[in-house]
Amino acid sequence: MSDPTRERPFPPTDPDCELCQADRFTHWYAVTDDGWVADCEVCAVPMVVWWDHGPEADAETTERLFAALRAAADERFGPGNWQLDSTMRQVPEHLHAHARDRDWWNRRFSRAMSRYTGVGSERQTTGLGDE
């Protein structure tokens, strides 16, 4: 893993893609050579995003991405208290996956949004909503 505070390793493949832009406004758990893990702006759960624009990566890259997501999800929800959701609903053309806690569906609109305070820092929320 390289320096977690670095910016993206290369310009966005698709400058019009929200995930390629990789704007930092929610909590960021990690940055790796393969991608980044941050809270999803829609459902407020950890998600991993591949740096490259495309719907699938090779098996080794995908496993490294999912390992980074597992680490963030275990930190946030505790081991065994979440499930991997790799269905790409809103941005199907860019590989990403979510770690969903057991009650995410019921809390998706009431959960407090996190805010960016640095990669790997303590997660902080806006204070609006419940956590």
> Domain containing 88 — which CATH number?
3.30.428.10
Summarize pLDDT for 5-53 with one digit per residue, the tens.
Answer: 456 666 677 888 889 888 899 999 999 999 999 999 988 999 999 999 9
79 within 8 A of 101, measured Cβ to Cβ: no
Task: Report DSSP letters for 84-107, one per residue.
Answer: EE----S-TTS-EEEEEETTHHHH
Asked whether residue 33 is assigned to any structural domain, the reply reads: yes
Asked whether residue 40 is assigned to any structural domain, the reply reads: yes
Beta-carbon contacts of 48 under 8 Å, excluding residues fewer than 6 positions away, are 35, 36, 37, 65, 66, 68, 69, 72, 96, 97
Summarize pLDDT for 86-130 with one digit per residue, the tens.
Answer: 999 989 999 999 999 988 888 877 888 899 988 988 999 987 656
Write out the residue range of the structural domain in which residue 107 sits: 18-118
Summarize pLDDT for 51-68 with one digit per residue, the tens.
Answer: 999 999 999 999 999 999
Tokens of 36: 């980044």
Give the count of domains, the chain.
1
The per-residue pLDDT for 103 is: 87
Asked whether residue 129 is assigned to any structural domain, the reply reads: no
